[in-house]
Structure 1
Amino acid sequence: MRTIIAMSAALGLAAQAQAADNLEKLSQFKVTGGAGFTYVEQGGAKAEAIRRTLERIRLPEGFRIGLYAIVPDARHIAVGPQGIVTFVGTRKTKVWSVTDRDKDRVADEVKDFAPSIDMKIPNGPCFSPDGFLYIAEQNRVLVYPAAEFFYESPDVAAFNVVPEGELIPPDEVSYNHTARVCDVGPDGKLYISLGQPFNVPPKSKRELYAKWGIGGIIRMNADGSGREVFASGIRNSVGMDFQPSTGHLWFTDNQVDGMGDDIPPGELNRATEAGQNFGFPWYGGGSVRTNEYKDEEPPADVVFPVVETVAHAADLGMVFYDGKQFPARYRGAIFSAQHGSWNRTEPVGARVMVTFVDEEGGARMEPFAEGWLDEETGEYLGRPVDVAQLRDGSLLVSDDLAGALYRIWYEGAQ
């Protein structure tokens, strides 16, 4: 047994060394001789079953939904600025590249991206306007400067932004709340959410988490320098986007479990400047106080959510719509995904929401696409994760239960 353990440890160290060596080679534009691609079949019985589910989805008049691609474990979406390829993260070990080569608005190729690099929970891909792809992993951030060009090869130019083990302290790495998301702001800085791993963290962790921005959103320069905590008091944000008209950062936040079916609410928040505190862990969601911190005075400057959402619906990815395909009332609105509840006696969520934002900054949220939750049986037929906009103005929605991307388009009268 000791021999087996020793051999396993040696193999693990060898694999880590190989992974580090591959990244070093790729940063020097050298080949690795690594593994080839894994391709995902796009037709067959699985595709037909997903299309049958999509027949149940209810949308406003004039809108249609269809299967765009089969993408295993599909999570957050980054659409390439050139419109060549879309990258889709997962909570496992792969990022998928999705290509619609004939531009019929259905993907015809899905394969893994950069298979010569070992990835750990590469949930959060995001693009800079000039085409740099960032991927926020569990405890690392890499940048791929020309991903839309190099994705055709297993070897892809890649560089450390935040090296492995330096996004958060290694001792704080958890299996819980480590699906990162990122975005590049109008200031050119990289913004990354850092969910804290607890339902409600112990007070002994507060100082450490405040220092690192765990339970918040951090930002840094494109090369990883100048790291700072941008926003705090956030339990676990898994969706963000900058409002084009104001430059403000809006983000979803998932709130405390175990307080009951209907409390606390989920949140859609707006950060108007650096340094704001959004209330967690004193507040479990909205203005609902947590039991663990009910005897402490909350900070006086807490910023409460713009929209309180259905409790435990798990609001995740979001995007501001700035396309021209949809009717005018949707321009400037937020489309967001509700992943669905896991700890309610009556399940909720599993739908795409739309939030209309007025000129004063007020917001009203309503369902846009729903039907992935069977109301008779309570069974989830799909679980939306993220929403992204294609260059033609249609939307992509990811689903990590079905393992798919859906496309929503408008063909009614404007």
Structure 2
Amino acid sequence: MMFGRMGWMVVGAAGLAGALAAAMAAAETVSSKTGVEAFSDWRGDAPGVWRHIRPQDLPPPLASAPKAERSQIAPRPQGALPKTLDGFSVETFAEGLSGPRVLRFAPNGDLFVTESNAGRIRAFHLADGRLEPARSKIFAADLERPYGLAFYPPGPDPKYLYVGAVSKILRFPYRKGDLEAIGPAEVVATLPRSDTGHWTRDLVFSRDGKTLFVAVGSRSNVADGHARPSAAEVADLEARNGVGASDGPELERADVLAFDPDGTNRRVYATGLRNCSGLRLRPDSDELWCVVNERDMLGDDLPPDYATHVEKGAFYGWPWYYIGAHEDPRHAGARPDLATKITTPDVLLQPHSAPLGLAFYNADQFPATFRGDAFVALHGSWNRATRTGYKVVRLRFRDGRPTGEYQDFLTGFVLDDARVWGRPVDVAVAPDGSLLVSEDANGVIYRIAHAKETP
């Protein structure tokens, strides 16, 4: 494994302060692509491009023939770095990792990373305000595809590190500064398990520490062959598991579950979320957010993936509907009772972009216009004729509410229609205000900084 240079030294910073301010102002005034223009592929991606996809912009189902074009992972070209906005720089923080996925900072500033492919958690030390890649340690190993991470209790002195594995929630004893687990894992709760379907299990605690939220993706694309229960069976199922809850192999899947910290008081918090990931709280609020991979095989430009706040008791449509009361033709007429009960998500993203990571920017290093916005990592398409995703985008917020617009922030991972050399997974704001991005195609963590930072 190789690591980037120690500390937060920036390379390639360009321009005077006045020029940077002018460039940033110009980027903020670019109009958004809407309608058909918003549904482009990788050729239309570039740092600074804004898009705004609205429910009324959606094409009809199967307007284009479904495709199954998986990308080929190419080696990272020698010296290659992704592209970002003028006034920002990109450097490699760490490379040679095994499937780095979720990034979480401990309250003391140490960085924890789930290397899901290797079944382990790695920790990077923070000393004198600088992360030291060369001093990373394996915190825990031999885990079942670990994904989500959460420190408990919330605050400056957590006692446990919680881990979302495929079939269970674990917690390790933790003391501030630990880079290796000081005791064995305890199983807090079991989770729905199958050998197929979405395996990511993201975690976050409520601000008061009383609730642990856990995202569980669906087993299937759109519950093909899903049994149609009777009205009495539906009533009983929904009384126990919420509006639009699925049964059979999808029981307690495509949802967000909630637990007390000790794993008791298990309940369904929200339903109809095909594959929710990137669980976060909007800063200084109790508002739960995630990003969602929507269903496949309805065409290149349908349906949009999305980012949304997750309301208690809300139903987001899967598998019967998408983006409000748009009925999936594969379930036509199956649940007309649900058509008026669907919560429409906040920010629609290009279909098949596969969003996985979400982070709100509440630091001061980036220009003031970024504060309160969010970043989303798009892992990239497979169910599309031409590539989309494979980038990090910025969601615009005003007064704490999303406008629905988003901007390309980090691009350049796609070589051509077949090959890519990077698949972003997660984003995290570092203690110094820079942004870290994990990508699991070639096992790299990148750092993006604003050029006003002094080397």
Q: Taking structure 2 as the reference length, what is the TM-score of the superposition?
A: 0.73
In structure 2, list runs of 5 or more residues that go unmatched: 6-74, 229-244
Does residue 214 of structure 2 align to residue 197 of structure 1?
A: no
Going from structure 1 to structure 2, the CA distance change for 1:290 and 1:147 (only over 3 Å counts) comes to: farther
Does residue 220 of structure 2 align to residue 181 of structure 1?
A: no
Deviation, structure 1 residue 89:
4.2
Where do residues 131-142 of structure 1 align in structure 2 (5 Å cutoff)?
Answer: 131=158, 132-142=160-170
Counterpart residue identity of residue 42, structure 1? F
How far apart, CA to CA, are the structure 1 residues paired with 2:453 and 2:179?
38
Deviation, structure 1 residue 357:
1.4
**CA deviation string 1:342-390 (max 9, x = no partner):** 121100111001001122724221111111112x454211000000111
Where do residues 338-377 of structure 1 align in structure 2 (5 Å cutoff)?
Answer: 338-359=378-399, 361-363=401-403, 364-374=405-415, 376-377=416-417
Q: Which residue of 1 aligns with 2:191?
A: 167
Contact 2:316-2:322 within 8 A present in 1 as well: no
Q: Secondary structure at the match of 2:227?
A: helix
**CA deviation string 1:96-119 (max 9, x = no partner):** 22335575556223442223xx31
Q: Secondary structure at the match of 2:446?
A: strand
Percent of aligned positions that are identical: 29
Q: Secondary structure at the match of 1:95?
A: strand
Going from structure 1 to structure 2, the CA distance change for 1:367 and 1:148 (only over 3 Å counts) comes to: same
Does residue 320 of structure 2 align to residue 282 of structure 1?
A: yes
RMSD: 2.7
Which one has more relative contact order, counting CA pairs under 8 Å at least 6 apart? 2
How far apart, CA to CA, are the structure 2 residues paired with 1:50 and 1:135?
34
How far apart, CA to CA, are the structure 2 residues paired with 1:146 and 1:316?
26
How far apart, CA to CA, are the structure 2 residues paired with 1:337 and 1:269?
14
Does residue 3 of structure 2 align to residue 42 of structure 1?
A: yes
Q: Secondary structure at the match of 2:369?
A: helix
Q: Which residue of 1 aligns with 2:149?
A: 125
Contact 1:51-1:67 within 8 A present in 2 as well: no
In structure 1, list runs of 5 or more residues that go unmatched: 1-39
How far apart, CA to CA, are the structure 2 residues paired with 1:327 and 1:360?
17
Does residue 142 of structure 2 align to residue 112 of structure 1?
A: no
Q: Which residue of 2 aligns with 1:224?
A: 263
Greater CA drift, 204-213 or 309-318: 204-213
Going from structure 1 to structure 2, the CA distance change for 1:61 and 1:251 (only over 3 Å counts) comes to: same
How far apart, CA to CA, are the structure 1 residues paired with 2:251 and 2:257?
8
Where do residues 219-368 of structure 1 align in structure 2 (5 Å cutoff)?
Answer: 219-271=258-310, 273-285=311-323, 288-296=326-334, 297=336, 298-359=338-399, 361-363=401-403, 364-368=405-409
How far apart, CA to CA, are the structure 2 residues paired with 1:51 and 1:66?
14
Deviation, structure 1 residue 158:
3.0
Going from structure 1 to structure 2, the CA distance change for 1:51 and 1:320 (only over 3 Å counts) comes to: farther
Higher strand residue share: 2
**CA deviation string 1:172-219 (max 9, x = no partner):** 413320111111122421111010110011433965369953110011
1:52 to 69, 72, 79: 79
Contact 1:67-1:106 within 8 A present in 2 as well: no
How far apart, CA to CA, are the structure 2 residues paired with 1:317 and 1:287?
26
Q: Which residue of 1 aligns with 2:106?
A: 80
Structure 1 stretches of at least 4 aligned residues deviating more than 6 Å after TM superposition: none
**CA deviation string 1:306-342 (max 9, x = no partner):** 1111010101110111111111111111111000101
Q: Which residue of 2 aligns with 1:396?
A: 436
**CA deviation string 1:274-330 (max 9, x = no partner):** 111111111245654322212131342210111111010101110111111111111
Contact 2:2-2:94 within 8 A present in 1 as well: no
Q: Secondary structure at the match of 2:351?
A: coil
Counterpart residue identity of residue 3, structure 2? Q
How far apart, CA to CA, are the structure 1 residues paired with 2:278 and 2:300?
23
Contact 1:50-1:67 within 8 A present in 2 as well: no
How far apart, CA to CA, are the structure 2 residues paired with 1:323 and 1:209?
44
**CA deviation string 1:41-79 (max 9, x = no partner):** 4379xxx9577221xx22122111111112221011111
